[in-house]
Amino acid sequence: MLSKDEILKRTSNGLDVFKHYISCEWRVGRNFLNPLYDDKKASCNIYFDRRSGSYRLKDFGNDSFSGDCFDIVGKLKNLNCSNSKDFIEILNIINRDLSLGLTENEDFVLPVSRIAKPANKPELPAEPQKIKPYYAVQQSFSAKETAFWQQYGITHEILKIHKVFSLKEFRCENKDGKNICFSSSDNEPIFCYSGKRYVKIYRPFSEIRFLYGGNFGENYCFGLERLPAKGDILFITGGEKDVMSLSAHGFHAICFNSETCNIPQNIIRKLTYRFKHIILLYDVDKTGLESSLKHERQLSNLGVKRLILPLSGTKQEKDISDYFKLGNTRENFIQLFIEFLDALYSETMAILKPCEIDFSNPPIKSEMLISINDVPLGAQGNLLGITGGEGTGKSNYAGSLIAGTISKSNQADTLGATILPNKDNKAVLLYDTEQSETQLYKNIYSILKRGKTDNMPLYFKAYCLTSMSRKERMQSIVQSMDKFYYQYGGIQMAVIDGIADLVRCANDEAESIAIIDELYRLAGIYKTCIICVLHFIPNGMKLRGHLGSELQRKAAAILSIEKDENPQISVVKALKVRDGSPLDVPLVQFAWNKELSMHTYIGEKPKEEKEKRKETELASVARTIFDKQKHCTYVDLCEQIQSVLDVKERTAKNYIKFMRDREIIRKDPSNLSYFIIVHT
């Protein structure tokens, strides 16, 4: 008979109920954090009340959770113990969740783990319990039984894998120790889920649908042993039939004893390392929806989500098995999961949508602002790096690019570069972080003179930032660019002469990445080219420090200004060109002209010099690679050249051919797939 006293009798005076619903580790008489809400202080206690002869919970932090086991279940299920109808529902929930078997039918088989203790005694140490025997007679699946499973897509192979059998007869003991027997028939088949030390009996068309035999254990989890080591999605369903139906359609799934039972967090935590998604896929009836919501909240720290099936929630249309029975396919379910991900990642996808490349609608082609011999160096939305040693003329070269931008006569001496005229009078910005105000004034005078401009245009703004802190410099650059972008209808070019003075340490990787990322972002937002002058001495074809490495990675081109053998002459050398090979860019020369009081373009170095430079640089690269290894495969050598020089595969292959032709490297005749150094 279903009653309060009978439940207390079968649950160790209510202690088993607390153990079932309160999942954290706790002991009788000891304070603990209440897991049923965000408890901050351990002031919750479960104790034995001698007056009522039952266990009670006292929560000094939140008294609404205080009470006996029936009060706690009512709290969890939003039911009121003082309401007779609700109280009966609470009794039914406890009876079902703990599988107590309190029903008018006396032939119900009690679970082995539910042995009642005297109601008038406190908890005693558990004694070894006698496992009640059972007897099962297996038989082959009949045509009708096979059809029952096949309507959910479950085949004989799936049944075999999950150790599901058809039974002709099942015998066990009822709660009074009397032997009872269940026989299979066409209208009431018996199926058996077989475990190592237990059986779970499933009678889909009978009044008593589930029975248990053997040692069922505490953490029953059907399908756990059949999961792969790694997977993408794992569904937690309400029953064994749902697990097999998902398995039949190519999905991984498990289930616990019921939808309302406690889900062990330790099992889920281990599974999070093996699966990308863990999804609750419960029935869409009242119990299933409430249980999945409760479990989602309890397991939220482990990233567990729930998926609600588009079913009516009736007895014939409530779970994933019914979903497939209705004719839905694997593809339909995958589409349902995609829609679930769309909702889950809605904000991310909305932000990502404008970044998607629409091949049928190509983006507006960026204008080439700076080039040498039609080789693009600086375009809209890109960074251009200028580097070199002390006194090589980096600032003068950057000034020549500005002169070409503000010139209206196309007669400016741009030191060998071709500059797109600023016809729309967009803002041209110069930020100097190193030179004094007096020196910057002289530089601006030279820029105007070089650009054949008498007066400084209103759209040309130059700032000396030496008196500011490094943080203030970057803030000033960001905010002023934003203002001038709207004031002048765009930014044609921005020059930062000394980006190393925007960071505390040029070898700080995190700070270097952040500053270059921000400049690259601004170039894209304002559709301009930001020229970054880096006052470092270049080392071969790579820049020093994390700041130099990050600039070389993000910039469309890197130009190095170096002194020639004749110290009166400076040479512009390309270290990186995104669209082409840097070694194929001509070596541009400029020198100081006393008559004009400024640097002037004196032409390109001869082709022989370019070839000599190419040979020297590639010999240096080869030495760097073969200092670490004596032999190298063609593929490995190609990859290392790509890494060292930051070039594409096609260019790296051309460099290998060039080195072989010049006998910088040679193919080993004993092993045609390896190369060795022959020149040092």
pLDDT tens profile 652-664: 888 888 888 888 8
On whether residue 363 sits in a domain, the answer given is no
Please tell me the predicted confidence (pLDDT) of residue 536.
66
Which tokens hold the place of 102? 């309190």
Measured between alpha carbons, how far is 346 from 363 in angstroms, rounded to an integer? 25
Cβ neighbours, 10 Å, residue 222: 24
* Integer CA distances (angstroms), 221 to 22, 198, 217, 580, in order: 19, 12, 10, 60
**441 and 376 together in one domain:** yes
Cβ neighbours, 10 Å, residue 47: 13
On whether residue 127 sits in a domain, the answer given is no
251: left (phi over 0), alpha (psi -120 to 50) or beta: beta
pLDDT classification of 106: cutoffs 50, 70, 90: very low
DSSP secondary structure letter of residue 259: T
Measured between alpha carbons, how far is 639 from 464 in angstroms, rounded to an integer? 43
pLDDT classification of 220: cutoffs 50, 70, 90: confident
Q: Which residue has the higher pLDDT, 613 or 132?
A: 613
Is the confidence at residue 209, as pLDDT, over 60? yes
Reference 590, options 368, 444, 372, 438; nearest CA is 372
Which tokens hold the place of 588? 């541009």
The answer to whether 539 touches 526, Cβ cutoff 8 Å, is no
Query: Which residue has tokens 């006293």?
Result: 5
Please tell me the predicted confidence (pLDDT) of residue 252.
96
The answer to whether 162 touches 240, Cβ cutoff 8 Å, is yes
Residues 6+ apart with CB under 8 A from 305: 277, 278, 279, 280, 296, 340, 344
CATH number of the structural domain spanning residue 569: 3.40.50.300
Query: Which residue has tokens 């919750």?
Result: 44
The helix/strand/coil state of 194 is: strand
Reference 164, options 190, 182, 129, 183; nearest CA is 190
Domain end, chosen from 544, 577, 605, is at: 605
**327 and 446 together in one domain:** no
Residues 6+ apart with CB under 8 A from 517: 554
Q: Which of 131-145, 399-413, 637-651, 663-677 has the lowest mean pLDDT?
A: 663-677
Highest mean pLDDT among 20-24, 215-219, 490-494: 490-494
On whether residue 475 sits in a domain, the answer given is yes
**233 and 342 together in one domain:** yes
On whether residue 120 sits in a domain, the answer given is no
**500 and 381 together in one domain:** yes
Rounded to 5 degrees, φ, ψ at 275 are: -130, 140
**567 and 432 together in one domain:** yes
Is the confidence at residue 458, as pLDDT, over 50? yes
Q: What percent of the chain has pLDDT over 70?
A: 92
pLDDT classification of 544: cutoffs 50, 70, 90: low
Tell me how many domains the chain contains.
5
Please tell me the predicted confidence (pLDDT) of residue 676.
65
Is the confidence at residue 129, as pLDDT, over 50? no
Residues 6+ apart with CB under 8 A from 356: none
Query: Which residue has tokens 């008294």?
Result: 63
Is the confidence at residue 235, as pLDDT, over 90? yes
Please tell me the predicted confidence (pLDDT) of residue 83.
84
Measured between alpha carbons, how far is 538 from 394 in angstroms, rounded to an integer? 12
The helix/strand/coil state of 605 is: coil
Rounded to 5 degrees, φ, ψ at 303 are: 75, 20
pLDDT classification of 114: cutoffs 50, 70, 90: very low
Classify burial at 170, counting beta carbons within 10 Å of its beta carbon; exposed 0-12, middle 13-18, buried 19 or more: buried
**625 and 646 together in one domain:** yes
Q: What is the mean pLDDT of residues 153-167?
A: 95
Which tokens hold the place of 301? 């720290």
Measured between alpha carbons, how far is 520 from 551 in angstroms, rounded to an integer? 9
Terminal-to-terminal C-alpha distance of the chain = 96
Measured between alpha carbons, how far is 67 from 75 in angstroms, rounded to an integer? 10
On whether residue 355 sits in a domain, the answer given is no
Is the confidence at residue 232, as pLDDT, over 60? yes
On whether residue 251 sits in a domain, the answer given is yes
Highest mean pLDDT among 217-231, 291-305, 535-549: 291-305
What domain range includes position 288?
Answer: 224-350
**502 and 437 together in one domain:** yes
518 CA to centre of own chain: 22
**425 and 503 together in one domain:** yes
CATH number of the structural domain spanning residue 635: 1.10.10
Measured between alpha carbons, how far is 490 from 427 in angstroms, rounded to an integer? 6
Classify burial at 38, counting beta carbons within 10 Å of its beta carbon; exposed 0-12, middle 13-18, buried 19 or more: exposed
pLDDT classification of 165: cutoffs 50, 70, 90: very high
On whether residue 362 sits in a domain, the answer given is no
Query: Which residue has tokens 């248990």?
Result: 212
On whether residue 324 sits in a domain, the answer given is yes
**593 and 633 together in one domain:** no
The answer to whether 22 touches 41, Cβ cutoff 8 Å, is no
**500 and 636 together in one domain:** no
**447 and 378 together in one domain:** yes
Query: Which residue has tokens 């370019």?
Result: 610
Please tell me the predicted confidence (pLDDT) of residue 282.
96
Residues 6+ apart with CB under 8 A from 392: 561, 562, 563, 570
Please tell me the predicted confidence (pLDDT) of residue 542.
59
Which tokens hold the place of 537? 């001495």
Domain end, chosen from 184, 214, 244, is at: 214
Is the confidence at residue 517, as pLDDT, over 60? yes
* Integer CA distances (angstroms), 242 to 149, 319, 373, 583, in order: 11, 7, 69, 65
CATH number of the structural domain spanning residue 281: 3.40.1360.10
**144 and 257 together in one domain:** no
